Chain A
């Protein structure tokens, strides 16, 4: 145990820093790495492969110490006191009762379902008495400390962290190798046919192969850093790094106007979300004085060394919000209560020192608003990063980047960051915030899914699909389904990266994104076609009910089950979330199979492109097959054991229940194990399967068999079609709501500037000039006049005296003689006067 606490930070730290090393090497050596930087691809791929190996080792070590689903018998013991502190045993009576119900109901449920949830649910009640959620928190390096606040590079490692590391590095490895093939064109000079120069020719530029891998490495480094972060400050730094990397990569073809605009759009839209995140950070920092997730030992140099550390710990955010002595129930931390009390001017500071008073205030609800603000702020950042409504507009435009980037951005890194952070911050969210998250996710899900129906750009279909699936995750998280949301994050990462790489393979072959020019490619590129079919089945959640299915089947099932449970616990309007999810599931199946049929089935619509199409090289389709395998098996349980992704993630489940809201007591966020109830689960599985089949059937009828002509449908609903084709007019809305008013205001301000500010400055200048003119006149005529007059006089006198100098020697002699005599006479006269006086 102690070994694990020591070795995990080293392993994951190394896995985290390897891509940084690769980035630095490529930055400095870049084009000198082989011919045209060809080795850069291998450097970056090798680094991320090393990261994956280290993460996999960490995962195995983790499994060795913490076998999932409560079957671990190793003594957790006092060696890891950070984990102990954080996950002290205990349970509220209410929760115990609920679990008893769940357990009893489980027994009654049909035993045919082989999915792991049941095992998890069954173990849940037993394991919870000594529930342990192992987590290792510590500090690698302290950057600065301001009084009680510390800014440090730390880690918080639990099952989620390790699993994320493995998933991110695995997908990134596949994408890196794929990219070495995909970006081959960049190895020599490139003529960009989409850029026309002012002289009418196409842009001709040197290849940027090495630069692509440089950004890719930085991207992986940022994402891994974000996952391993031990405090919110570090999360925020890597959050921004991920943002800037996506900016670089989306704008990789920077000469294309569309690419540079898309990069700017992604960056600016993300800034909007980040602003909210900063507010959340300030709310946490200002009231709690700590930004660390987990409890950190106070002893200097005691990082990770839990056996020698004293019992003194500095509580992190999680312990503050969900103190162990309060059975991990959501508790407004003292700091927030005091801040709110001070702000409301309730009483003086002396009384605030007494804990009893604080408890009274807590009962009155002081500080709860601060907790809500913190949660909403953090979620705001996640909305931007994970492309949720209303900040989803950047993600489809991000398709301007090269396809491997899209795959990375859409599966494992950028957008996953937002969902990951919601999952990581889960204990801090109040039920009210969770409701906001759920509705945001629901709106996003439905909106993006409907837009995807009409998109014709193969990558845009996938982009809206991503937005929609992210909405699913948020919806699940908001409805209390932490595991469902996180599980969907993982399974979605696998099949969405697969789908994107497949679409990249198609684009590589036919050199267009437009699905209307594809068709019938199945015979030309079988590997791509059938791996993509696997991806489509996985995202649609295909499976044989209660028996086995693709990875998406498990996660989507869990989400829908949780939403049914949510509907059952909340009367009234909130049930709409369940119908949204069900409708979204049908739409997902429809648009994914529409994509597949349009691309691979039927007859080729553009014969020239069809003839030039070819299967991609091995370096590209082997990653596809790896990912396809994972898209199938990712959520399976290892036969005969309790090892499955869901059970591993279960270990990282945040402590405590959410229960009812304080402001809105009618709102109940049901515990997740309630969704494992037999009735709920059967209903969920059946509904999910039926809607998926419905969507699949409609797609087959319209696009596979051609029974129902899509054009007829389009003409039948012209307004709906236009509404969806124009993406719910979001871009236009933002154009009218933000861009144009901004332009108008800038024009007004520019006018004001020109007329008033400039006018004022100009008049100042005029006055100064007038004054200078007067001064000039005085200077010229008075001062200079006097001096000049004097000079004139002197000059005239000089001219006059000049006449004396005749140059005639004899006159000189006369002058000397006469002068001498005159002097003599004068002297004599003067002496005579003196003598006489």
Chain B
């Protein structure tokens, strides 16, 4: 099965979501800048959102079951709100971190070590 020849279906969406997710994870893992890490988190969340939206769409589902089709959308919206709240908190933490360490390098945040 060749994805490039197939019509755009669920698999393609999932593929995009997976790429986004992996990009986010890699970004979180390799960025030393706290803001970069935050961006990685956004990517991970949005990768997940793509999956939710894709699964929520009845047209994309092989069984064609519409149901109400709202649960995926609702969770996607919920995740966006959550991401906004998380960004606000994380940025506050980052600002405070900067105040304390004069840097946003996450490798300097070692106070949690055992």
Contacts and interface: CB of A to CB of B under 8 A. Distances in A.
Interface of A: 801-810, 813-814, 817
B79 to A, nearest CB: 18
Contacts of B107: 808-810
B55 to A, nearest CB: 18
Nearest to B109: A809
Contact of A804 (B29, B109, B111, B114): B114
Nearest to B31: A810
A809 B37 CA distance: 10
Contacts of A805: 112-114
8 contacts: A801-B114, A803-B114, A807-B109, A807-B112, A807-B114, A809-B107, A810-B37, A817-B25
Interface centre among A810, A813, A817 (most CB of B within 10 A): A813
A802 B114 contact: yes
Contacts of B113: 805-808
A814 B29 CA distance: 6
B63 interface: no
A801 B111 CA distance: 17
Contact of A808 (B30, B31, B110): B110
Interface residues of B, number: 15
A804 B107 CA distance: 15
Nearest to A817: B25
Interface in B63-114: 106-107, 109-114
A817 B29 contact: yes
The 4 closest A-B pairs by CB, nearest first: A805-B114, A807-B113, A807-B110, A802-B114
B12 interface: no
Given A810-B31, A810-B37, A810-B107, 12 more contacts: A805-B112, A805-B114, A806-B110, A806-B113, A808-B109, A808-B110, A808-B113, A809-B109, A810-B30, A810-B106, A813-B25, A817-B29
B61 interface: no
B50 interface: no
A803 B30 CA distance: 21
Interface string B15-36: 0000000000100111110000
Contacts of A804: 114
A804 B106 CA distance: 17
Contacts, number: 40
A807 B111 contact: yes
Contacts of B28: 810, 813
Nearest to B112: A807
A810 B109 CA distance: 10
A28 to B, nearest CB: 81
B20 to A, nearest CB: 14
Nearest to B30: A810
Contacts of A803: 114
A801 B113 CA distance: 11
Interface centre among B28, B30, B32, B110 (most CB of A within 10 A): B28
A805 B25 CA distance: 20
A725 B113 CA distance: 105
Nearest to B25: A817
A447 B25 CA distance: 128
A802 B114 CA distance: 5
Nearest to B41: A813
A806 B112 CA distance: 7
Interface centre among B25, B29, B30, B31 (most CB of A within 10 A): B29
Contacts of B114: 801-807
A802 B112 CA distance: 11
Contacts of B109: 807-809
A810 B110 contact: no
A805 B29 CA distance: 16
A805 B28 CA distance: 18
A805 B32 CA distance: 18
Contact of B32 (A802, A806, A810, A814): A810
Contacts of B106: 808-810
Nearest to B28: A813
B93 to A, nearest CB: 11
Contacts of A808: 106-107, 109-110, 113
A813 B29 contact: yes
Nearest to A811: B29
A807 B109 CA distance: 7
Nearest to A810: B29
B30 to A, nearest CB: 7
A527 to B, nearest CB: 112
B85 to A, nearest CB: 20
B27 to A, nearest CB: 10
A233 to B, nearest CB: 91
Nearest to A801: B114
Nearest to A804: B114
Contacts of B110: 806-808
A562 B32 CA distance: 138
A794 to B, nearest CB: 15
Contacts of B32: 810
